Structure 1
Amino acid sequence: MVQLLVDKGYNVVAADLVGTDGGKFADLGVPFIPVDISRKDSLVNAFEHVDVVMHIAAIFDYTVSWQDLWRVNVKGTRNVCEAASEQGVKKIVYFSSCDIYGDPARIPADETTKIRPNHNYGESKFLGEREAFKTGMGRGLDVAVLRPAALYGPGSTYGAILLINLLYKGLLPGIPGDGKTMVHMVHVKDVVNAGLFLAEHPGSSGRAFNLSDDTPVQLERIIEHAAAVLGFKVPKLHVPKFMAEAMVPLVKAFARATGTSPLFNEDMLNVLYHDHVFDSSRIHNLGYELLVPDVIDGLTESLEWYKHHDILKRNIAFKRVRLKELFQ
């Protein structure tokens, strides 16, 4: 996001957690201000002389406690809106998630589809949306909401790439379900460009927009393509949901004993074992055009990036985010 805004000629201020290496921003000539969105007072300096806030900061982790998700994704959004309005910010673009639809009531799900999140992360993003509209617009801010589908691309180490990484390392015994589950994704290039599009477009205010590419595919198609690019064998075993659910207590016990994050939990299974296909007509009708419309083309580029940077050789699946340390 920061790189895109700099390339477009905007004056940018970057804000991230205390302890974040600001060197990557300094290289772009961008000032960095450490913040903690769960503490409103830490946001004041970041929003001085700012017109638009791109509110991306959130916890994206299906294994984190509800208390931590609420503090950051819900209360943190309220803090961002309040601090922004007090500093004279004009508009906020809130980055939500298509996870708010849960197991969608209809396929494809558009913005009028019933919102019924079936895991804590999705619930926290939905409540974050409500805070953005209620608190932000209630204080006179223009607010637009972007709901990306499953995000992938260079730099991402969670979500879709986590499943691929576990299969690459042989840490999952098989493919979730029959492999026919429909998956809808969107490249990070489109997420940041669509966010900027909504920031610039006056017709986006007060509205929410889905964002997905043009090619929903079956889960096994993604796995087969990743295997071909990365050189691992596609598991022959298929794991039914009831079997995966029976393994959850063992997976959690192993994580506690080793001080790692669980490979999966109930919330992750709710994502893996249901079809997720979305209708993004609303943002396209406003004028946005996809940069990466085909997921296979985008995955090829992304997987080559992971290979080049040796990302898959690192233990990204086992990193535990020590939230108590981050938010003290």
Structure 2
Amino acid sequence: MPKFKCLVTGACGFIGSHMVELLAENGHEVIATDVQSTINAQEPIKKECVLTTQKMAQKLIPCDITSQKEVEKLPLDVDYVFHIASVFSYAAPWEILYRVNVQGTTNLLEAIRKTQGVKRFVLWGAGGVYGEPKPEYTPFTEETPPDPPNNYQRAKWFQEFTTMLYSKKYGIKYTILRPTTVYGIRQFYGGVDFLRTGHKAGMLGLPSNMNTHVPFVHVKDVCNMALYLAQKPEAENEIFNSNDDSRMTMIDVMRFIAAIYGKPFMLLPPMPMGAIKDILLFIADIEGYITQKVLKKKGLLEKDQLGMMNLDFLYSNDKLKATGYKFLYPDPKEGLIEAMKWYEEGRYFDK
């Protein structure tokens, strides 16, 4: 296998640290970059991400991608750029989401345009850009028109659009991944909440009508497919849904989580999920106002995330598999068990 020189942005985060690890383990030269505040992270799980990147990358360069001057100082004499850096938060203000996710991407593309040496720009998009499921677009395919339902997804869609615009105007070759529910070790936000619930709850249960699907993908698969597709001519200037073959429902997931933690699981009678969702959204409005406007801190409930509650998300990965990609974790059960053991051995949920 030929060896490449690669730049990884957001390299000290959950996915970024795995991308650095994969590239280094395959003998590639890795230049890692992240914002200084992330590099300085002291929270136990976040620190594990940083330590992994510091160990595996040839260089770790502090860089705020919202600063064009800082971005232009990055060494861009590389074969591939894996652009993972983003604000991943449904609660973040639009100004921050736009500045980091959209303007930061623009700054990076502008610097790449000036060097004209990058073989492929691989962008981490988001599976949520399709919006709420509709019968005529089930499952979601890459041909489904984007309809981002919240500020986070809108910023991710603008990020994709900016990438495609630079490709059309300046010939930058790209591949865009749209991951779904990513999981794995060293995660501190998102899919890890399933495991955190299993650890902390005395018992688990769900209403019998909460049977919507959870689209999973292991973090190692997301990174592996990024490296795989970056080298594929047929993946040039293409978008790929990034999800495994599983079709687990919320009930399947929580029953499995209960089993691996040795906790009882109770299937509850059907409940009016629409009404419950409306109540939670109302509470989130009030709680958000008090915490953000009055107390000046992040709230516990994320309204935009609640908006996706009890929606049935199904994704097609046929386009990805047509390239010949083989999943490391076609089913999430093995990966969830591995992750659970890692969190329990490190007692990360108790810190």
TM beyond 0.5: yes
SS of residue matched to 1:47: coil
Is 1:213 the counterpart of 2:244? The answer is yes
Task: State how 1:35-54 maps to structure 2 within 5 Å.
Answer: 35-54=63-82
SS of residue matched to 1:217: coil
Structure 1 position 49, deviation (Å): 1.7
> Take 1:272 and 1:145, find their aligned partners in 2: how far apart are those partners?
26
Q: Are the aligned partners of 2:167 and 2:173 in contact in 1 as well (CA < 8 Å)?
A: yes
Is 1:243 the counterpart of 2:279? The answer is yes
For 1:100, the equivalent position in structure 2 comes to 129
Q: Deviations over 1:263-288 (max 9, x none)?
A: 22221012232111100111110111
Q: How many residues align?
A: 314
Q: Are the aligned partners of 1:47 and 1:87 in contact in 2 as well (CA < 8 Å)?
A: no
Q: Deviations over 1:121-157 (max 9, x none)?
A: 1111111000111124422211110111111111111
> Take 1:232 and 1:137, find their aligned partners in 2: how far apart are those partners?
53
Letter in 2 for 1:289: K
Letter in 2 for 1:248: A
Among 17, 31, 43, the residue aligned to 2:35: 17
Structure 1 position 160, deviation (Å): 1.9
Q: Deviations over 1:146-172 (max 9, x none)?
A: 111111111111112225425643599
SS of residue matched to 1:209: strand
> Take 1:46 and 1:219, find their aligned partners in 2: how far apart are those partners?
43
Q: Deviations over 1:99-139 (max 9, x none)?
A: 10111332211101121111111111111000111124422
Letter in 2 for 1:98: G
Q: Are the aligned partners of 2:244 and 2:327 in contact in 1 as well (CA < 8 Å)?
A: yes
SS of residue matched to 1:288: coil
Structure 1 position 72, deviation (Å): 0.8
SS of residue matched to 1:110: coil
Q: Are the aligned partners of 2:65 and 2:107 in contact in 1 as well (CA < 8 Å)?
A: yes
Is 1:5 the counterpart of 2:33? The answer is no
Q: Which runs of 5+ in 1 are unaligned?
A: 315-328
For 1:86, the equivalent position in structure 2 comes to 114
Letter in 1 for 2:313: H
Is 1:115 the counterpart of 2:140? The answer is no
For 1:133, the equivalent position in structure 2 comes to 164
For 2:56, the equivalent position in structure 1 comes to 28
Structure 1 position 57, deviation (Å): 0.6
For 1:277, the equivalent position in structure 2 comes to 314
Q: Are the aligned partners of 1:66 and 1:120 in contact in 2 as well (CA < 8 Å)?
A: yes
Q: Which runs of 5+ in 2 are unaligned?
A: 1-18, 41-49
SS of residue matched to 1:273: coil
Q: TM-score, normalised by structure 2?
A: 0.82
For 1:323, the equivalent position in structure 2 comes to none
Q: Are the aligned partners of 1:62 and 1:265 in contact in 2 as well (CA < 8 Å)?
A: yes
Q: Against the structure 1 CA distance between its residues 170 and 181, is the aligned structure 2 distance closer, same or farther, given a 3 Å change threshold?
A: same
> Take 2:145 and 2:302, find their aligned partners in 1: how far apart are those partners?
25
> Take 2:67 and 2:257, find their aligned partners in 1: how far apart are those partners?
41
Q: Against the structure 1 CA distance between its residues 184 and 23, is the aligned structure 2 distance closer, same or farther, given a 3 Å change threshold?
A: closer
Q: Against the structure 1 CA distance between its residues 45 and 137, is the aligned structure 2 distance closer, same or farther, given a 3 Å change threshold?
A: farther
Q: Against the structure 1 CA distance between its residues 313 and 207, is the aligned structure 2 distance closer, same or farther, given a 3 Å change threshold?
A: same
Among 305, 312, 326, the residue aligned to 1:289: 326
> Take 2:247 and 2:299, find their aligned partners in 1: how far apart are those partners?
28
SS of residue matched to 1:118: coil
Letter in 1 for 2:319: R
Q: Are the aligned partners of 1:44 and 1:87 in contact in 2 as well (CA < 8 Å)?
A: no
Letter in 1 for 2:344: K
Q: Against the structure 1 CA distance between its residues 299 and 29, is the aligned structure 2 distance closer, same or farther, given a 3 Å change threshold?
A: closer
Identity of aligned residues (%): 29
Q: TM-score, normalised by structure 1?
A: 0.87
Structure 1 position 25, deviation (Å): 3.3
> Take 2:51 and 2:328, find their aligned partners in 1: how far apart are those partners?
28
Task: State how 1:191-202 maps to structure 2 within 5 Å.
Answer: 191-202=222-233
Letter in 2 for 1:192: C
Q: Against the structure 1 CA distance between its residues 25 and 235, is the aligned structure 2 distance closer, same or farther, given a 3 Å change threshold?
A: same
Structure 1 position 235, deviation (Å): 6.9
Letter in 2 for 1:104: P
SS of residue matched to 2:251: helix
